Structure 1
Amino acid sequence: MGQMIDFSSNGIDAQGYLAVPESGSGPGVIVVQEWWGLDSGIKEMADRLAAAGFVALAPDLYHGELAAHDEMDKAGELMSSLPPERAAADMSGAVDFLADHDATTGEALGVMGFCMGGMLTFLLAANRPDKIKAAVPFYGFPQGDSQPDYSKIEAAIQGHMAEHDDFFPPSTAMHLEAELQAIGKNATITVHEGSGHAFMAPHNALGTQNQELYDLIWPQATAFLHEHLG
């Protein structure tokens, strides 16, 4: 089990959920929340990363606000009203905190994000190429005007998207993979057949959680992170 911690975000106090492996140390991974907020599902994913040997930190991008899993309208409002500059600062502050933490080994960090967090995974990789060397986005990626300068990304990317997803269309995901590979990025994006949005979510808020798919993907994702982070 992890715990809530405080860290500095551009001179402003921020919070996050920190999970450390039983060994007491490991490579660092930032975990980026879904649109619900820093809920039990994201904390559980951080705990699972810690069980796999990583020091995982999930910053609270909503600063204490949370939508229940039957409050999709509220979740959408929280996501749309999230100040982009504050989110970027909080994630960057989390990167600095995790990089300097005594439990974190090595200089390279990873990032794993889900839904909204999948989209923000790409943004963090582009904004902090000095630290982020591996990225695992799940069913989320930037679209339209929210896209970063992909040329700045130095991280290897292993993306996992849903076949049936009205939020993040699979055809657009495959176009993004081609775009990243065309500029020389180490990026693979897989659209998983038969899957729906949020297929990894422990809380199963959308009724799309797929345990068989989770059992297949999770070892791939953690092995990928270990390969690039140690």
Structure 2
Amino acid sequence: MLLSEVSKVRVYALPAGVSGSGKANQLAGSAIVKWNSTYTNMLHQVYVNGRFAGVTVGCTQRMIIVPLPLSQKTAVKIEVFAVDYLNTNTDYSEVIRSEQIQAARIKIEFPMTDELPVDGNLDIYFEDKKLNKATIKIQNEYSEKGGFGLSSFGKSDFGYDGSAAVGFGRGNFGLGGFGFDAELLCWQSEQLKTGTYKFDIRISDSMGNHTDLIETETLTVISPATPAERLTVESFDKNNGKLILKSA
């Protein structure tokens, strides 16, 4: 169970290093996150851009260091939630993720099934414009299909060597995918403007045959805020506690 009644979340970026002159490298790779919470019998989880980044080890802990994405082009969204002991290490990324896409990027993925052609190619379109710069190969090697050799004699595997069963990573140890992740085709768009998008997918083979365009559902994209920088204090109302900042 997640509880969101956490207030006054503050984030302090940690510099990647300090030079001999004392000047800090501003490319922060991690940050200290602090918050206020009235929950005294629960732990707290921290999510960075919707991904599980860390959890406290004690009920009174109100500070944690989490990793940050190195890109400085978009603002980083950090959220803190209270969680009960039984679900301390449960990843709620899918639960808390908004239905609206906050990163201004679209990811399309689906499994490489036996219904797809061995020598197939995949292309993604938006309003008749091809988005992927290079055609996506559905199967990089004939041996990625199960069963007997599916290529010319001597060019494909046989028996268990040709099965490439789901669950075994392909590639050098530690570099191949595992489980159904090893069977996923994945494409991610460039950063998009705020709006609604519907993409078309087309699959073709080496003989020139191709499927009709397959439409995705309508996706809503919200561009993230531009990170604040070069701010100066314009005024401060001590009576009301109101601070006005001005961008240089």
Specify if TM > 0.5: no
- Larger Rg over CA atoms: 2
Q: TM-score, normalised by structure 2?
A: 0.23
Q: Which has the higher strand share?
A: 2
